[in-house]
Structures are given as C-alpha cells and as structure tokens.
C-alpha cells in the first residue's frame, strides 16, 4: 500500500519530490496552482521536466493532483459553472503534463436545485473538460464530502451515479475517512471498517476506489463537519482503521494523509501512526 502526504510545492513543483522522499513517502499529493484562486498558470518547461525526472528517480507512484477548492461543478449558476469548468480543465491539463496518475476534485453543491441536477451537472462538466484535451488523461477521482448543506458526495451512491453518467471518461472515487464519518458512515469498530468496504462496493464499486485520504475527524459521526484531525487524536477508531486498511479488497489502494500540519513534525508523526495501523493488523 503506497503511503504519502499532501506535499508543499513552495519554490516550484519539482521541490515537492524532495519533501516527500524526506518523509519516506512512496506516493504523494500536490496542488498544481493555488487552491484558493481562479487561475492555474502553465508550469515552466524546466519545472515539468525536473518534476518528472525527480519523481522517477524517487520511484514515487502514483502522483495525485488535488484541484482548487473553489471549483463547483454542480452549481446551477452559469457564470460559476463556466469558471469552475475552465479552472478544472486547466488543472487537468497540467496534471496530464506532469504525468500524474490521478486528479481529485470535490463535486460541489447544487444550491437551490436538487441532487439529480447536481449529478448531471458534474458528469457533463467532466465529459466536456476531458473532451477538450487530447491524449491520455489522469483518472478523475470524485472525493466524497461531509455532506453539509447541498453538497453532492455525502452519499456514496451519488458518486456512483456521477461515474456512470460520465460517458467516455475514466472516473473513480477518492474516499476520505474524515468526510465519510462526518457524512454519517460509522468508523469506530472493526465491524465498521469492514462494513464501510461493503458500502463503498455497493455505492460506487470497489474497482472504482483508487485513492484513500486517511484522516481522523474532529467532528462526530453524522455531524457534517469537515474538520481533519491527527490520526489517533480524533473521533475515528483505530480498530476500524486497522480492519479497513488491511482488508485484501483495499490494502493495495494508495493512502494520502491530509492531516493538520500544525508543526514541522506533524507529517512524520501521522505517517508513523498510519504505518503502525497497517502493521497492527498484519501481526
């Protein structure tokens, strides 16, 4: 099971590789533009070249790109939809250029419409964006959400519907443990961990689960509160994590930690805890 963290690209995306290898990561996730702006500038050729060279030398795989937080592909607003679709397309193009295997995006909110509208809207955006770029693209992963307000993705079945509706596009699931817990999927006991695997299979299909965001949760189950916590410090149970991670149906799925970076050693501690969870079930 490859394991890594969301890695800073400060000073250039190629520098993210060194940061990941220092933590002994075997995979990693990055932004390719500022996550809170509407602009995704093309990367310099030298940065793209160095990134691909360094990640190959470091044997990091897969590379996961996370899109901007501003993107809302489910919105009924035409202006916001077109802006979101353009930004998603620009980031998808950059992800392809650096040869990332996956690109993760939040599906967004349907506001004063309904779930059916939001699902159709997201699928249409994915198809239009993918069609506008030539060549083999990274697999697009829809991340499950905490389900607050009118968010799409709190229910796994909605992500399954987006995948089915996205004709001609490779689309899968990135499952976030904090978001799922906040949305109402229990994750405290060994039984919860095994049940979640069955629920993912039923709602999305296990073959479509490509990446796991392993995060603890500050909020309670069903709280709809999207607040990540350090592993072992939140409301999720270690028994659930251990049974989930070690099950043969998911144990080779890449893990990305998005736990708080509260100090310089936070990533090191959380990676240590994640590896401990993996080993605890193997004994």
Active site residues: 36, 66, 69, 106, 143, 176, 179, 213, 226, 228, 258
Q: What three-state secondary structure class fits 67?
A: coil
**3-state secondary structure at position 159:** helix
d(CA 69, CA 117): 21
In the 8-state DSSP scheme, what is residue 36? T
Report CA-CA distances (Å) from 204 to 47, 72, 149, 257: 36, 21, 22, 22
Q: How far apart are CA 163 and CA 172, in angstroms?
A: 7
Q: Are 193 and 241 in contact (CB under 8 A)?
A: yes
d(CA 15, CA 7): 9
- C-alpha–C-alpha distance, residues 237 and 92, integer Å: 35
């Amino acid at each position: 099971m490859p394991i890594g963290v969301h890695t800073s690209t400060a000073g250039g995306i190629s520098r993210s590789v060194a940061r990941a290898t220092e933590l002994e990561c075997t995979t990693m996730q990055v932004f390719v533009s500022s996550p809170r702006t509407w602009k995704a500038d093309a990367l310099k050729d030298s940065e793209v070249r160095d990134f691909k060279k360094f990640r190959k030398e470091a044997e990091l795989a897969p590379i996961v790109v996370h899109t901007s937080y501003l993107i809302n592909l489910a919105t009924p607003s035409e202006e916001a939809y077109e802006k979101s679709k353009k930004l998603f397309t620009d980031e998808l193009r950059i992800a392809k250029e650096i040869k990332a295997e996956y690109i993760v995006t939040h599906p967004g909110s349907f506001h004063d419409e309904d779930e059916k509208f939001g699902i159709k809207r997201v699928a249409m955006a994915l198809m239009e964006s993918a069609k506008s770029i030539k060549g083999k693209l990274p697999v697009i992963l829809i991340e499950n959400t905490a389900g607050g307000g009118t968010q799409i993705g709190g229910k796994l079945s909605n992500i399954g519907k987006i995948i089915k509706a996205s004709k001609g596009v490779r689309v899968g699931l990135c499952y976030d443990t904090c978001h799922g817990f906040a949305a109402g999927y229990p994750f405290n006991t060994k039984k919860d961990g095994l049940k979640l695997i069955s629920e993912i299979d039923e709602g999305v299909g296990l073959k479509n689960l490509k990446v796991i965001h392993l995060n603890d949760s500050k909020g309670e189950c069903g709280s709809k509160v999207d607040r990540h916590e350090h592993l072992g410090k939140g409301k999720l149970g270690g028994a659930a994590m251990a049974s989930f991670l070690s099950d043969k149906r998911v144990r080779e799925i890449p893990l990305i930690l998005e736990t708080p970076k509260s100090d310089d050693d936070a990533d090191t501690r959380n990676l240590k805890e994640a590896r401990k969870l993996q080993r605890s079930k193997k004994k």
